[in-house]
Amino acid sequence: MNWLPPPLMPRGPGEIRRTTAAFNTMQERLHRFVADRTRMLAAISHDLRTPLTSLRLRAEFITDDAENKQKILNILDEMERITEATLAFARDEQAGGQSESTDVAELCGDVAQELSDMGLDVAFTPAGPAVMTCQPTALKRAIRNLAQNAVHYGGRARLAVRLADSEILVTVEDDGPGIPEADQDSVFEPFTRLETSRSHETGGVGLGLAITRNIVRAHGGDIHLENLTPRGLRVTVSLPLPSDGG
């Protein structure tokens, strides 16, 4: 999500003011570049819908080779899933929304309750307030993605929130096999799925974690993965607090 932070105010001596102005210009150019790339991605994905629909209609008329017909339809199903997921990814990248003061601990508790109500094994360790200015709908989606992944691959999710120095730390732990260290960076790349989740029935198209990291980084934070002993994975989301702690 490309939420552009407000430009820095030029203050101080002339050299610092010029540096600040150059930084603001660079930030705006980078924002436009990413926005243009995202719009192009959305346009390409949208335009693919028509030929895919046409191919599906033609495939449905194959009557003399049932095996190949099903293979073609399966490939088209996969292409359509990727196209729709790409469109959703692009929409999220372009989405804005109002920032507001939010208790991240309360937000995580809401996520845990909603998923528990759906029958998923999700627990939240209550914590004191952890308030920051954020876009709550987007941040809630990021935490929900992590919790659902934990349940899907690790059987259950345990959420916790704590304050540490100038950060809010959100942890999501599961009891699954973990992720090899060599793969821990790549799993956040769009359309990346581990070998064990190649099936769409189990692994999706590999955009959930990419969207999650984009949301977290758009809030100035980051995500860290850590394998637990003897098994399990801990995902830590770090979100910066304002310098005054509010």
pLDDT in tens, 156-180: 999 999 998 889 999 999 999 999 9
Contact 179, 233 (CB under 8 A): yes
Question: Domains (ranges, CATH) in the chain?
Answer: 14-94 (1.10.287.130), 100-240 (3.30.565.10)
Q: How many CB atoms lie within 10 A of CB 44?
A: 13
Q: How far apart are CA 227 and CA 172, in angstroms?
A: 12
pTM: 0.65
pLDDT in tens, 126-157: 888 999 999 888 899 899 999 999 999 899 99
